[in-house]
Amino acid sequence: IRSWAQSSETTALGKALGYLNTMENDSRLGNHIANQIPYNSILNLCAQKKDDTTALEIWDRILAPESRVVPNSVTLGTLLLTLVTANQLNKAVTILNKSERGSKGLLLTNTTCYNIVLDGLAKTGSQGADKDAILFLQTMNELSETGANPNVSPDRVTYGIVLSILSKRGIPAEQI
């Protein structure tokens, strides 16, 4: 799967999905894949192809109750990157907001996940991007300062993206 994920061949995604399906259905594997690496590879390929539909299908397979795959921040970040590159920013925001605690009870989000969505906001320049950026920044600060999720502490990249969004709107940085 990883080889296909790194391939520039136009049929790479279909072939990688075929291998994943085989792995999932192989009775010798107990009909389950126990780690996220094959899924992360396919999500990465979806990001390259801007294929949000397949990426969301893979995400649903990972989160299915019968799945033993435990998604991590790489899994989430790659899904968010796919959605952002496919111009599905609203879906990315929704999933980020729902993913603070994963369906399997694990913290999935980290600073990179937030930065991916913030970067999408900056690039689209959508109406309300400034308010969304400030809200994300406040959420990240609150989660990291309270210890609810120390993995989302804003970094220089976060502040740079937020300042970029605000400057496009003519809002001085002092108003943060």
Q: pLDDT for 129-150, tens place per residue?
A: 888 899 999 999 998 999 888 8
Q: What is the pTM of this model?
A: 0.83
CA-only gyration radius of the chain, Å: 17
The DSSP call for residue 50 is T
Q: What share of the chain is helix, strand, coil (3-state, %, to 5)?
A: 70, 0, 30
pLDDT digits (tens, 9 = 90+) for 26-69: 655 555 566 788 888 889 888 988 999 999 999 998 888 888 78
Q: CA–CA separation, 115 vs 85, rounded Å?
A: 14
Q: Is 64 exposed, middle or buried (0-12, 13-18, 19+ CB in 10 A)?
A: exposed
